[in-house]
């Protein structure tokens, strides 16, 4: 098997404890690669290197334009190696090659976006209300960033952290998931080839106890950018109490897609297919709570069923495949148990509902017709190709059902009534709302959630400022000496 090593302080290394793990190909269920795992000593070394690089002239004294050029170079390398990185990610995670290679190529635009912003970071002269005072602000990099990303969209989710952090002049220790981390360890080669000074970016992986915990609680970490599940996020927040690191959380979701009776049902069915079966449902913005106006419920189910029949479930490296396997066997087991519970609650499986009898972690596309909003599949983040549909009668009912969730990441509305689209979207408690489309992203558009879907935003112009601190400077321009503070006039 091919072995992948950690990238720390510009060097390739196995972990200090000599621990390694095997990575399984979800399409076959067989081990295909091994990777080194970080120990606490490796975390110490990576953070120390990042802290040192902050004050190293090789990084500290680079102009903002020069930082941008490094990011442009990285973007070009990503685009050049997108097919290779996509193949590795597909082999490691089971995601379709068409998706991984295309998404990786598009990720280059995220780095280009932040490369272009690097020299647009400005201070300001303040119109202060005191005579003879010249007051201005300037921005400094916040410091050392701990970036933690999951396996399911790691090239994209690392770009939304590395891009703005590096544009701001920070240094980054990126912790990849111990599930399917190989693409990030391979991506580190591009960081090296782009010419970033040693220590500016380190990329490693390992378990929570030896890697994630010592990283997020390290006293020299100034900023934590975390994407993952709510339970892990609670530990991250507790860890940040040790270092007071500024923290943003991009967590799970149970996103509603509302289909009104006046919707274009062709578009709505495509939106529900994309929101539930795209990436085999392994997406934090999966639109797995379909709310459909009762008058068009059966017509929409018929359209979805017809489209689902055409989905080819198979080898994700095969270009004829529409949907690949799930990343882990544990996901299959959890989904099947939740489906059993939903049926006990009165839900009806309209199609699918079972793992496929073949090697690998394959789940059939599944549609669950729910009788109540308390159905398990409407509450649990499935992280698999399971669509749950619930009928509604009125607009007010649809809004109430959509907001009846502990999450609040994505949402979708399908309607031909523009007034209704604006009216309903303004009342949804979700960080993203797609109208007559779904799962569209852009480096220009902020991404993040409400409620237990986290806080803070990634992507967009403001994200760079989240990796900076503001300094205010007061200059006394008077020719007279500073007044005696004890002589009041």
Q: What pLDDT, in 10s, does the model give residues 16-29?
A: 999 999 999 999 99
| Residue 351, number of CB atoms within 10 A of its CB | 15
Predicted confidence (pLDDT) per residue in 217-268, tens digit: 999 999 999 999 999 999 999 999 999 999 999 999 999 999 999 999 999 9
Q: Tokens representing 100? A: 């991984």
CA distance 408 to 256: 9
Would you state the pLDDT for residue 487? 84
Q: Answer whether 85's CB lies under 8 Å from 186's CB.
A: yes
- Tell me the DSSP string of 214-268: HHHT-TT--EEEEES-HHHHHHHHHHHTTTT-EEEEE-----EEEE-TTS-HHHH
Mark out the alpha helices in 345-439 (DSSP H runs).
376-379, 395-402, 418-425
Could you report how far apart the first and last alpha carbons of the chain are, in Å?
80
| Paired tokens of 149 | 């990303």
- Tell me the pLDDT band of 84, cut-offs 50, 70 and 90: very high
Same domain as 184, residue 69: yes
- Please indicate, yes or no, whether residues 342 and 212 belong to a single structural domain of this protein: no
Q: Is residue 478 part of a domain?
A: no
209 and 235 assigned to the same domain:
yes
Pick the catalytic residue from 250, 369, 381, 458: 250
| CATH code, domain with 196 | 3.40.605.10
Output the pLDDT for position 489.
61
User: Does residue 17 fall inside a structural domain?
Assistant: yes
How many domains in the chain?
2
Same domain, yes or no: 314 and 277: yes
Q: Which two tokens stand for residue 458?
A: 């990634």
Beta-bridged to residue 35, according to DSSP, are 4, 21
Question: 104 and 52 in one domain?
Answer: yes
Residue 190 shares a structural domain with residue 231: yes
- The residues, ordered by sequence, that sit 6+ positions from 405 with a Cβ below 8 Å of its Cβ are 254, 256, 289, 379, 451
- Alpha helix segments (H runs only) across 94-135: 97-117
Rounded to whole angstroms, how far apart are CA atoms 276 and 263?
Answer: 19
DSSP conformation class of 80: H
On whether the CB atoms of residues 373 and 401 are closer than 8 A, the answer is yes
Are 410 and 434 spatial neighbours (Cβ–Cβ below 8 Å)?
A: yes
User: How does strand 246-250 pair with strand 223-227?
Assistant: parallel
Residue 443 counted as domain residue: no
Residue 420: name the closest of 289, 254, 255, 259 by CA.
Answer: 259
Whole-number Cα distances in Å, 96 to 108, 240, 302, 312, 442: 19, 36, 26, 11, 20
CATH number at residue 382: 3.40.309.10
Residues in a beta bridge with 248: 225
Instruction: Print the domain residue range for 329.
Output: 256-435
Asked if residue 343 belongs to a domain, the reply is yes
Strand spans (E) along 319-437 = 348-351, 366-369, 386-392, 412-414, 434-435
Contact 206, 17 (CB under 8 A): no
Taking the CB of residue 489, how many other CB atoms lie within 10 A of it? 3
Residue 417 token pair: 């009534």
Do both 53 and 163 map to the same domain? yes
Task: Give per-residue pLDDT as tens, 105-123.
Answer: 999 999 999 999 999 999 9
* 220 shares its domain with 357: no
Q: Does residue 365 lie within any of the structural domains?
A: yes
- Asked if pLDDT for residue 205 goes beyond 90, the answer is yes
Per-residue pLDDT tens over the stretch 128-137: 999 999 999 9
Q: Could you confirm whether 250 is annotated as catalytic?
A: yes
Check whether residue 88 and residue 223 sit in a common domain. yes
> Do 200 and 81 sit in the same domain of this protein?
yes
Identify whether residues 199 and 295 lie together within a single domain.
no
> Is residue 444 assigned to a domain?
no
The pLDDT score that the predictor gives to residue 483 is 86
Does the residue 488 lie in any domain? no
Tell whether 405 and 272 lie within a shared domain.
yes
In a domain, 10, yes or no: yes
pLDDT at 384 over 80: yes
In this prediction, residues 145-151 reach a mean pLDDT of 97
* Angle at the Cα of 64 from the Cα atoms of 61 and 66, rounded to 5 degrees: 80
Task: State mean pLDDT over 177-189.
Answer: 98
Question: Mean pLDDT over all residues of the chain?
Answer: 97
Q: What is the mean pLDDT of residues 368-373?
A: 97
- Both tokens assigned to 310: 């055409």
What's the whole-model pTM score? 0.95
């Amino acid at each position: 098997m091919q072995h992948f090593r950690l990238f720390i302080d510009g060097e390739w290394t196995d972990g200090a404890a000599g621990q390694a793990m095997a990575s399984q190909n979800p399409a076959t269920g067989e081990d295909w690669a091994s990777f080194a795992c970080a120990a606490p000593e490796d975390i110490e070394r990576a953070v120390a290197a990042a802290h040192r690089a902050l004050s190293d002239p090789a990084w500290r004294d680079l102009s903002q334009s020069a930082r941008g050029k490094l990011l442009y170079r990285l973007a070009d390398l990503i685009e050049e190696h997108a097919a290779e990185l996509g193949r590795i990610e597909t082999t490691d995670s089971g995601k379709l090659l068409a998706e991984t290679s295309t998404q990786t190529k598009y990720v280059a635009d995220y780095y280009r976006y932040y490369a272009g912003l690097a020299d647009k970071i400005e201070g300001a002269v303040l119109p202060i209300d005191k005579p003879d005072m010249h007051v201005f602000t300037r921005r400094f990099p916040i410091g050392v960033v701990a970036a933690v990303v999951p396996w399911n969209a790691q090239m994209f989710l690392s770009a939304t952290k590395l891009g703005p952090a590096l544009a701001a002049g920070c240094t980054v220790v990126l912790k990849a998931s111990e599930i399917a981390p190989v693409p990030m360890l391979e991506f580190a080669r591009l960081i090296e080839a782009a010419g970033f000074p040693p220590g500016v970016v380190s990329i490693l992986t390992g378990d929570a106890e030896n890697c994630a915990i010592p990283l997020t609680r390290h006293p020299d970490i100034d900023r934590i950018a975390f994407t993952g599940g709510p339970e892990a996020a609670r530990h991250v927040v507790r860890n940040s109490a040790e270092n007071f690191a500024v923290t943003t959380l991009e967590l799970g979701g149970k996103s509603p897609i509302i289909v009104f009776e006046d919707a274009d049902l062709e578009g709505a069915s495509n939106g529900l297919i994309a929101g539930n079966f795209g990436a085999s449902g392994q997406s934090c913005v999966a639109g797995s709570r379909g709310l459909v106006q009762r008058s068009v419920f059966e017509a929409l189910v018929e359209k979805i069923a017809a489209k689902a029949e055409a989905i080819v479930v198979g080898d994700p490296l095969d270009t004829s495949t529409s949907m690949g396997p799930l990343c882990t066997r544990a996901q299959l087991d959890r989904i099947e148990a939740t489906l059993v519970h939903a049926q006990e609650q009165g839900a009806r499986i309209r199609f699918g509902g079972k793992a496929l009898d073949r090697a690998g972690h394959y789940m059939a596309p599944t549609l669950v017709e729910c009788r109540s909003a308390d159905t398990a599949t409407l509450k649990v983040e499935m992280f698999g190709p399971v669509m749950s549909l619930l009928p509604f009668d009125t607009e007010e009912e649809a809004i109430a059902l959509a907001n009846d969730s502990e999450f609040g990441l994505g949402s979708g509305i399908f309607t031909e009534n523009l007034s209704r689209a604006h009216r309903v979207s303004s009342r949804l408690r979700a960080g993203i709302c797609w109208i007559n489309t779904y799962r569209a992203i852009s480096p220009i558009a902020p991404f993040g959630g409400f409620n237990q879907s986290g806080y803070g935003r990634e992507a967009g112009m403001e994200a760079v400022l989240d990796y900076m601190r503001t300094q205010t400077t007061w200059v006394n321009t008077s020719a007279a000496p500073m007044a005696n503070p004890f002589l009041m006039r």
